[in-house]
């Protein structure tokens, strides 16, 4: 029995880094409907993932041509519309986390499933933070809303592969107190 291959769905590589990980609680952006969201930072060296993403964006474009056309007379060219694969070197200069990387912002109205490397559900919210590395199941689709047309990225599920240096400057409690220096404690 062959598994149906959805041409607009991609599973990112294991070296994808998660940033702005709002995956436990939906948040409203600019008064819009609350959504779960994440920024996926993909090394430019991960050409396999990048090519899969480009192919999925093209498939979403072809699948959504009628939506992209809307009431117009023609479908805008793929390179003339907004697409979600963005260049970290150009759009986030000076941000080391995005240096030499592509990035995609993905979101969903429903909570993503989150598992560990052994595919066991992660229930401890402190295990998932901006800076971890993992794979993401994402899908691409066309949109045409209020004159804005393009391809967007939906968030399906996440698999944490390994810890990484936290992004955003906040240290983790386990790192702050990882010391044998107790001389001032209870004095």
Which pLDDT value is given to residue 182? 52
Residue 33 has pLDDT above 60, yes or no: yes
The phi, psi pair for 143, rounded to 5°, reads -135, 155
Q: How far apart are CA 109 and CA 107, in angstroms?
A: 7
* Radius of gyration of the chain, Cα coordinates, nearest whole angstrom: 19
Domain positions in the chain: 9-169
Q: How far apart are CA 83 and CA 69, in angstroms?
A: 16
CATH class of 9-169: mainly beta
Measure CA 56 to chain center: 15
Residues in the chain, how many? 187
Which pLDDT value is given to residue 185? 47
Please report which confidence band the pLDDT of residue 187 belongs to, taking 50, 70 and 90 as the band edges. very low
Residue 4 has pLDDT above 90, yes or no: no
Task: Give per-residue pLDDT as tens, 112-163.
Answer: 999 999 999 999 999 999 999 999 999 999 999 887 899 999 999 999 999 9
């Amino acid at each position: 029995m062959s598994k149906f291959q959805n041409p607009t769905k991609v599973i990112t590589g294991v070296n994808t880094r998660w940033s702005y990980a709002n995956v436990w609680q939906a948040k409203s952006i600019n008064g819009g409907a609350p959504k779960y969201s994440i920024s996926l930072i993909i090394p430019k060296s991960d050409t396999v993932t990048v090519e899969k993403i480009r192919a999925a964006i093209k498939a979403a474009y072809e699948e959504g041509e009628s939506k992209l056309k809307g009431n117009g007379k023609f479908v805008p060219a793929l390179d003339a519309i907004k697409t979600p694969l963005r260049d970290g070197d150009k759009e986030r200069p000076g941000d080391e986390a995005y240096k030499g990387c592509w990035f995609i912002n993905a979101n969903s109205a429903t909570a993503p499933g989150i598992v560990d490397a052994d595919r066991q559900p992660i229930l401890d919210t402190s295990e998932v933070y901006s800076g971890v590395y993992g794979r993401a199941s994402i899908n691409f689709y066309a949109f045409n809303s209020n004159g804005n047309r393009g391809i967007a990225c939906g968030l399906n599920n996440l698999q944490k592969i390994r810890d990484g240096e936290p992004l955003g400057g906040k240290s983790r409690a386990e790192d702050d107190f990882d010391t044998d220096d107790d001389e001032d404690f209870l004095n």
